[in-house]
């Protein structure tokens, strides 16, 4: 009888050991850290990447002259001052209204195939998306995104807002703002985010935090660094995610970088390498490959 009991109990104990460090939700089962920390980490990162894509489409089209006190343009354009003595040039003061017009007219460059429209009203650009592919791996994006632009102190200030925006299985409530500066062709956005929603793996992505988005104009790639906190619930509420040198490009999976979740009792780190999976390593000694929602 004792021998039979050992044979029966062994697989039961083994399954309990696995369950202690894998996901119990609809997310992919990943034996790396406790519960679904690894897939929550990815959901937070990828929804931040989607947020960055909307920032990029709202800011990349803005001409470099908007980061100076005024812009010199051809005579006869929409100028706020008269042409100079030669009649050849006019000087305009960059405004949120004129920035919004520049962004709206460029929408097809960032969301091709007629899937998106953009309209400018004052200093607000409203994007209407219908199953759109966009920058930084953004796919199947549907919903309305409003970008409010203000030009001041040689910078562009922006607010993004939108409720229940769908993107590749995620549902996102955008609540984020930032300040964009440009030096020698490189744009840097300092963003503060309180975006909420559910990531493509089914985990809550509610957070608060800051990050930087840096890109050379027109390259289609950007780097994200930042810290987002207040993530998770239950035993792992208050988890934070540190995103480090995360490189995202148009029509590609994450090229490089890491994302580390720090939770009650340890850490789990995702390392990205340009493929459709990330390597996860956790402080409890477990590791696994995590499938990514990317193209």
Q: Tell me how far apart the alpha carbons of residues 259 and 210 are, in angstroms, rounded to a whole number.
A: 14
Question: 213-222 burial, b if ≥16 CB within 10 A, otherwise e?
Answer: bebeeeebeb
In the block, tokens 């006869």 appear at: 76
**pLDDT over 90 (residue 44):** yes
> Around Cβ 210, how many Cβ atoms within 10 Å?
15
pTM score, two decimals? 0.82
What are residue 174's phi and psi, to 5 degrees? Answer: -75, 125
Query: Domain map of the chain by residue range?
Result: 41-75+88-291
Per-residue pLDDT of 69-98, as tens digits, reads 555 544 444 434 444 444 455 555 668 888
Q: For the chain, what is the mean pLDDT? A: 83
Gap between the Cα atoms of 136 and 167, Å rounded: 12
Beta-carbon contacts of residue 155 (< 8 Å; ≥ 6 apart): 67, 179, 180, 181
Helix axes 37-59, 96-104, angle to 10 degrees: 110
Alpha carbons 115 and 251: distance in angstroms, whole number: 16
Residues 6+ apart with CB under 8 A from 70: 91, 92, 93, 94
pLDDT(64) > 80: no
Chain segment 158-181, per-residue pLDDT in tens: 999 999 999 999 999 999 999 999
């Amino acid at each position: 009888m004792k021998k039979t009991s050992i044979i029966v109990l062994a697989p039961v104990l083994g399954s309990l050991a696995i369950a202690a460090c894998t996901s119990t939700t609809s997310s992919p089962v990943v034996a790396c850290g406790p519960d679904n920390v690894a897939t929550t980490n990815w959901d937070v990162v990828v929804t931040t990447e989607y947020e960055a894509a909307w920032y990029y489409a709202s800011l990349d089209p803005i001409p470099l002259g908007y980061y100076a006190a005024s812009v010199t343009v051809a005579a006869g354009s929409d100028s706020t001052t008269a042409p100079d003595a030669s009649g050849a040039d006019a000087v305009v003061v960059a405004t949120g209204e004129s920035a919004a017009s520049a962004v709206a007219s460029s929408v097809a460059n960032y969301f091709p195939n007629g899937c998106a429209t953009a309209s400018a009203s004052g200093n607000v650009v409203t994007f209407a998306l219908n199953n759109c592919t966009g920058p930084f791996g953004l796919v199947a994006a549907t919903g309305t995104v409003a970008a409010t632009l203000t030009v001041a102190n040689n910078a562009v200030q922006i607010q993004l807002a939108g409720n229940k925006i769908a993107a590749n299985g995620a549902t996102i409530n955008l609540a984020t703002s930032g300040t964009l500066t440009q030096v020698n062709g490189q744009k840097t956005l300092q963003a503060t985010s309180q975006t909420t929603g559910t990531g493509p793996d089914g985990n809550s992505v509610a957070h608060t935090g800051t990050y930087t988005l840096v890109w050379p104009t027109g390259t289609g790639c950007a780097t994200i660094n930042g810290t987002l906190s207040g993530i998770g619930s239950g035993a792992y509420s208050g988890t934070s995610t540190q995103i480090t040198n995360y490189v995202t490009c148009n029509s590609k999976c994450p090229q490089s970088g890491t994302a580390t979740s720090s939770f009650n009792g340890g850490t789990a780190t995702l390392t990205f390498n340009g493929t459709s999976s990330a390597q996860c390593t956790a402080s409890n000694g477990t590791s696994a490959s995590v499938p990514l929602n990317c193209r």
